[in-house]
A and B are shown apart, each in its own frame.
Chain A
Amino acid sequence: NAGVTQTPKFQVLKTGQSMTLQCAQDMNHEYMSWYRQDPGMGLRLIHYSVGAGITDQGEVPNGYNVSRSTTEDFPLRLLSAAPSQTSVYFCASSYLGGNTEAFFGQGTRLTVV
């Protein structure tokens, strides 16, 4: 079982470059989300989606774009990378509704220099 797959695992970008973090899940989950994890700040929600064609902003959306063209994929785009976006990024998926288990990918460690 693949679960949630994120690529790449590591990335170094120069300030101003753009890139896309990939996320795919094979559990037919309606809900997908992106978090960033910084020391001492836990996981903060960037964007989320409740189904194909539907996305919404989370707590820290600035500088990031998402789209959801299929149930399986939920890519996160950095439009113009900044050092403040240096972080570990996690994609998660779950069924819709309360008390559902969120499944996380292994994360992408991004450094912007």
Chain B
Amino acid sequence: TQLLEQSPQFLSIQEGENLTVYCNSSSVFSSLQWYRQEPGEGPVLLVTVVTGGEVKKLKRLTFQFGDARKDSSLHITAAQPGDTGLYLCAVPHAHTGTASKLTFGTGTRLQVTL
């Protein structure tokens, strides 16, 4: 059973379109992170959300943590080719005492074409 389910798995859109990707779980988390991974590179942190209902904006990207802290969404407005990549959500294993230990979702692969 996957701890974090991301949807959709794949998304191909044209430049200028809006999109939302989701990260869902049945567990409650103290925080959640979103990473973006470009081809041939390692993941890079986009944002960390910690409070239920929290909304954070990063230019055209809007991140929201669910009220119950079980899920999160990432909305991209007016997508650009530079947004192409694999979007991963991740949560800490706080119950092991090592909050640095991260579990990742399966990812959403986004392709933005001209």
Point out the residue from B31, B40, B44, B106 that lies within 8 Å of A41, measured CB to CB. B106
The segment out of A12-20, A63-71, A73-81, A100-108 that lies at the interface is A100-108
Q: What is the interface residue range for chain A against chain B?
A: 20 to 34
Q: List 25 A-B contacts (CB under 8 A).
A: A31-B98, A41-B106, A42-B4, A42-B88, A42-B104, A42-B107, A43-B43, A44-B104, A45-B101, A45-B103, A50-B98, A50-B100, A92-B42, A96-B98, A96-B99, A97-B99, A97-B100, A98-B92, A100-B99, A102-B35, A102-B43, A102-B90, A104-B42, A104-B43, A106-B41
CB of B33 to closest CB in A, whole Å: 8
Q: Is the CB of B42 within 8 A of A90?
A: yes
Encoded as 1 (CB less than 8 Å from any A CB) or 0, chain B from 77 to 109 comes to: 000000000001010101000111111111100
**CA–CA, A48 to B103, complex, Å?**
12
Residues of A in contact with B (beta carbons under 8 Å apart): 4, 31, 33, 35, 40-45, 48, 50, 58, 90, 92, 94-102, 104-107
Point out the residue from A43, A106, A107 that lies within 8 Å of B104, measured CB to CB. A43
Residues of B in contact with A (beta carbons under 8 Å apart): 4, 6, 9, 30-31, 33, 35, 40-45, 48, 50, 88, 90, 92, 94, 98-107
**CA–CA, A59 to B88, complex, Å?**
18
CB of A110 to closest CB in B, whole Å: 15
Point out the residue from B43, B48, B105 that lies within 8 Å of A99, measured CB to CB. B48
**CA–CA, A35 to B104, complex, Å?**
10
Q: Is the CB of B41 within 8 A of A40?
A: no
**CA–CA, A50 to B99, complex, Å?**
11
Which residues of B have CB within 8 Å of A94? Answer: 100
Point out the residue from B6, B30, B42, B103 that lies within 8 Å of A98, measured CB to CB. B30
Point out the residue from A44, A45, A90, A99 that lies within 8 Å of B31, measured CB to CB. A99
Nearest B residue to A92 via CB reads B42
